[in-house]
Structure 1
Amino acid sequence: MEISNLKTAFISVMESYIQALDRYTDEQFLAKPAENEWSLGQMYEHILGANAYFFMANVKRCLEQRKGQVGGERSDAGENMFKYNSLPPVKIKVPESLRGPELVAHSREDYRKLFAQSLQQGVLLAEQVLQDEGMYKTLHPIMGWLNATEWYAATEIHARHHFRQQKEREQWLGIA
């Protein structure tokens, strides 16, 4: 997929999350269906953190050619993610050894601003990715070696993957 299409898809996903904030009350946003499941707010926190501290951080590392290498292959999981332009439609449990503290959700207004900032950062990064030759890669622990364009695509794919979770929470909350 070309970077202009990736940027358009990224904008669409991020705007969808921003607009969805209007559908929830503060109580709905923080409600959890079970102790071991996330609220919508925790899901937003996860997406935001993954965007800023993992996906976009690796886009920047590739562009700056640091903490990676020239070349490297994607894993089978990485090949499938790009072949199908999605993550598998399954719930992914982070192994206990990799889990950090429980995510703490902020207010809907905070996420309105933070997602808008993430959106703006993603749009700016797209322009830089357009100039990248794609040779320098950093390692994704499951997907293998990805270049800046692939990391950028993974940002949108990951955020879109959580639409299923968002829909489940909305159904549980009785939101049409």
Structure 2
Amino acid sequence: MDELFTYYLQELDHYQPNALIYHLDHDTWSISQMYDHLIVVSHEYLDEVESCRFAPVTTSGKSPFGERLFATGAFPSTPIRLPDAMNAPPYETTHVDRLRTRWLQLIDRHTALASIAESAPADQKTQHGGMGWLNATEWYALVTYHLAHHRHQKRRLDAALANRQ
């Protein structure tokens, strides 16, 4: 299992219900919302891993942003603001067990799709709105890149929680 999945799973043990829904300000997600976002988006990326198995062959490539992202193997460390139409607030809960269950389901699915990501033809791709055309291996890698990117956000939220106590 990827160390980032383990990290986020273990970190859930550190939160009380009120900490899960604490908002630094009205524009900042809570820890619970960040976890929901990670789970939902990871499943969306894994859906694309599966879709690539049946996607038509294409020579279409990545966007300039996609090329930079995959060349560095990471999202930029700065926050990325999506357009408001794509930026609905994630689900929020005070139940750590709910988040843990959903996280474990994500881990299981990620593990189950590893062989598909490795064996899918590189020229069978689906399109990402900002990164261009990605194959199953790239969609699979995107899950980890996304988790790593939000580790910065989690650290900021954890620091805010520590300062309010």
Instruction: Please name the residue that 1:105 is paired with.
Output: 92
Q: Does residue 129 of structure 2 align to residue 129 of structure 1?
A: no
Unaligned runs of 5+ in 1: 1-7
What does the per-residue CA deviation read over 1:23-81, in whole Å, with 9 as the maximum and x for residues that have no partner? 111111110100111000000000001011x211111110232xx65231111111111
Distance 1:130 1:170 in 2: 35
TM-score (norm 1): 0.87
**Which of 32, 35, 38 lines up with 1:47 in the alignment?**
38
Matched letter for residue 138 of structure 2: E
> Superposed, which structure 2 residues align to 1:69-108 within 5 Å?
69-100=57-88, 102-106=89-93, 107-108=95-96
The 5-angstrom pairing of residues 1-176 of structure 1 reads: 11-52=2-43, 54-65=44-55, 69-100=57-88, 102-106=89-93, 107-174=95-162
What secondary structure, in the 3-state scheme, does the structure 1 residue paired with 2:125 have? Answer: strand
SS at structure 2 position matched to 1:162? helix
CA distance in 2, matches of 1:58, 1:146: 9
Aligned amino acid, residue 29 of structure 1: L
When the two structures are aligned, how many residues end up with a matched partner?
162
The CA RMSD measured in Å over matched residues stands at 1.4
Q: After TM superposition, which residue ranges in structure 1, 4 or more long, deviate above 2 angstroms? A: 68-71, 97-100
Distance 1:91 1:129 in 2: 28
Q: Secondary structure at the match of 2:77?
A: coil
> Residue 139 of structure 1: SS of its match in structure 2?
strand
| Distance in 1 between residues matched to 2:96 and 2:53, nearest whole Å | 32
The amino acid across from 2:8 in the alignment is Y
Question: When the two structures are superposed, what TM-score results if normalisation uses the length of structure 2?
Answer: 0.92
The percentage of counterpart residues that share the same residue type is 27
